[in-house]
Structures are given as structure tokens and as C-alpha cells.
Amino acid sequence: QVQLVESGGGLVQAGGSLRLSCAASATIFESNTAGWYRQAPGKQRELVAEIASGRTNYADSVMGRFTISRGYVKNTVYLQMNSLKPEDTAIYYCNVQLFGREFWGQGTQVTVSP
């Protein structure tokens, strides 16, 4: 029973920034893979960014604009999103792999206006 709760989504103008937070009900260790995914209308859910053992991976579309990080409090994962574009509009989901399983948050809506 691991609960993930995302927050920080909202409406922002193109070029703006948002910081998404994911709060987990269990400790996310450095070796545990944590990531952010997004699903735009009519599209498949895609990996945005992930972090595990200090290594990060980003989708090409967000490289240089988004940054995933683990919080000082070990049950948190953040996604700093800068230079947002309308095509970033999607529901963003937090994903954590621990206990040999995957856990998902309920998602938070990010809408970027032109």
C-alpha cells in the first residue's frame, strides 16, 4: 500500500514554469526508480523524466527544460518544468518503483496556454 499524490499542476502561459511535487507514503530510496509520465489528449502515456541511483533520463522533448529531482525529504520527487510549451499540456503522473512493484499517482493536470 503505497500512495502517491501529485500536486503543483495548473494553468500557465507558454514560457512559464511549474514545479510538480509527488509525495509518497513510503520512503523512495536512491536506488528506487522514480519518474514522471504524462498523457496528452488522444496520446499514449509517455515517460517525461526518471531518476534512479543518481542517474536521470529525459524525453528528448523536455531535455534542457525539465529537471527531475528527489527531495530532501526522501518520500518526495519533484519535476521542475521551465520554458513550458503548449505541447507540454497533459496530465502528469508520478511513478515509483519499489517493493518490486510500480505505483502511480492520480495525476495532475498541466495546461500551457499559447
Task: Check: CB of residue 10 under 8 Å from CB of residue 111.
Answer: yes
Q: What is the mean pLDDT of residues 53-70?
A: 97
Looking at residue 72, its pLDDT comes to 78
pLDDT tops 90 at residue 111: yes
Strand, coil or helix: what is 87? helix
Task: Check: CB of residue 9 under 8 Å from CB of residue 38.
Answer: no
In percent, the amount of the chain with pLDDT more than 70 equals 100
Looking at residue 104, its pLDDT comes to 97
Write the pLDDT tens digit of every residue in 27-52.
Answer: 888 899 999 999 999 999 999 999 99
